[in-house]
Chain A
Amino acid sequence: EIVMTQSPATLSVSPGERATLSCRASQSVSSNLAWYQQKPGQAPRLLIYGASTRATGIPARFSGSGSGTEFTLTISSLQSEDFAVYYCQQFNNWPGTFGQGTKVEIK
């Protein structure tokens, strides 16, 4: 099973600032990496797939990069609605496995 490790566990950011979240795979997953956003009491929502492709309706301030074992989700200018938990998921090997999540909180 591929283990996904996210860092940091918690990221404190002021509104308007940039947030950079990391996700590392225990072995190469090529570009088969997705990012999800989850707000309290809500289901996860797909943000990014294929490491860098934004899902339908996702604002351009969200961007993904990386391949192989190292991936990054960047939120260029945090808005109030972006404070949430973010999960990465590899789907290169079955079944897809999730990272443990990064909580983005208001500084």
Chain B
Amino acid sequence: QEQLVESGGGVVQPGRSLRLSCAASGFSFRSHAFHWVRQAPGKGLEWVAAISFDGSNKYYADSVKGRFTISRDNSKNTLYLQMNSLGAEDTAVYYCARDHSSGFYDLWGQGTLVTVSS
């Protein structure tokens, strides 16, 4: 079945880096754009970044621009989020989500928790 599985979350000190991965299976990964969406504890959903199907176009929320980098490896069916200069405000569950092609998200991963704390 179609599935997205995130990994790479954990506890990290402020100012450090972390890389998240999202492994896709059960569908044609290279045919879709993907997004990262995060959710701080007890809060709502916040779009973080997006990447086109071929990786040629990338977009970022202002809150992460210059610190986070989204990328993909279509040969490995995997999406990535490189997060640098992490701060407490980045503490959240990070979800990868598949773009249906119109801009809404029709498949979500289970999420991976990132905690930024000293």
Contact = CB atoms under 8 A, between A and B. Distances in A.
A, B bound: yes
Interface in A87-107: 87, 89, 91-92, 94-101
Interface string A23-45: 00000000010101000001111
A87 B44 contact: yes
Interface residues of B, number: 19
A49 to B, nearest CB: 5
A42 B95 CA distance: 10
Interface in A41-58: 42-46, 49-50, 55
Contacts of A87: 44-45
B44 A94 contact: no
A45 B108 contact: yes
Nearest to A89: B104
A49 B100 contact: yes
Contact of A95 (B61, B95, B106): B61
Contacts of A43: 95, 108-111
